[in-house]
Amino acid sequence: MREATKQHATGKSFKRSLHFLLYWARGPSLVGLSRTTIMLGACMRTHSFPRMFLPRSLIAAAIGSALMLSPLTASAFEGELFSLKNRWEHTVTEMPANERESTLKALAGEAEQLAEQYSDEADVLVWQGIVLASYARERGGLGALGIAGDARDALEKAIEIDPQGLNGSAYVTLGALYDRAPGRPLGFGNSDTAERMFQRALEIRPDGIDVNYYYAAFLKEEGNEQAAREHAQRAVNGTARDNRQVSDEALRRDAEALLKQL
């Protein structure tokens, strides 16, 4: 900023001052961008430049340029992840069945790109695993085995980074994957591993609707109807997560239907 002010004092152009402001704004954080916006306003006041064009042109250009010069920050990937999560939730709860597979395939591609860009972010990897698991389930058959394996790999990598696995969500999805996949030699399905995954999820979030519903479904398949009934009831009584209300409420209805079968 001092350099920008000096340039004005020597009579050099607004463009030259802007160059120094953009150079200063480069960095690993978006904090510099907000400061740059303030400085641009100050710079504009000291140069003869039409105010009416500044908000739409130069400030936008300056911030856009600084963003291109700066690495994306956590808030950037969180926005992309939020969009991905919302579209996934809409797909699995509201979209017609004949449209789900193609939509989930596209979302899986987006999740893969996001995971490549943010390979050390556990939340990104968990959501990649969730989307891939949903896609594998919708596709079904032998063609889904490779997709399910990719989902497992993403979730296990996420757990290596964050043992809580996005508040237990990684373990819930892993439990469902190990439960539903065929066993060796075709797949990686394993009831003992599925049990461990569900138990770990329950340790983290014992009242979760998703945790208890999927565990109840697993227990029913294993022939343990008494325990299945207990966890289905806990799913019905559970509290929906603020960021997953639509999908959690859908699972609550599934738990109610499961209870009627037990």
At residue 41, the pLDDT reads: 45
Are residues 152 and 44 located together in one domain of the fold?
Answer: no
95 falls within a domain: yes
What is the number of domains present in the chain?
A: 2
* Structural contact between residues 210 and 53, judged by C-beta atoms closer than 8 angstroms: no
Are residues 125 and 255 located together in one domain of the fold?
yes
pLDDT attached to residue 222: 96
Q: What is the mean pLDDT of residues 84-97?
A: 95
Quote the Cα angle for 248-174-112, to 5°.
90
State pLDDT tens for residues 237-246: 999 998 899 9
The answer to whether residues 25 and 127 belong to one domain is: no
Note the pLDDT of residue 119.
94
Global pTM? 0.71
Least confident of 15-19, 85-89, 178-182, 238-242: 15-19
Give yes or no: residues 118 and 223 share one domain: yes
Return the DSSP state at 57: I
In a domain, 107, yes or no: yes
Q: Does residue 82 fall inside a structural domain? A: no
Residues 56, 50: Cα–Cα separation, whole Å = 12
- Average the pLDDT over 173-179 and give the result: 97
Residue 201 lies in a domain: yes
In the predicted model, is pLDDT for residue 75 greater than 80?
Answer: no
Residue-wise pLDDT for 40-71, tens only, equals 444 444 444 333 333 444 444 444 444 444 44
Compute CA distances 12 → 1, 5, 9, 40, 58, whole Å. 14, 10, 8, 15, 17
Give the model's pLDDT for residue 53.
38
What band does 76 get if pLDDT is binned at 50, 70 and 90? confident
Q: How confident is the model at residue 74 (pLDDT cuts 50, 70, 90)?
A: low
Assign residue 249 the CATH number of its domain. Answer: 1.25.40.10
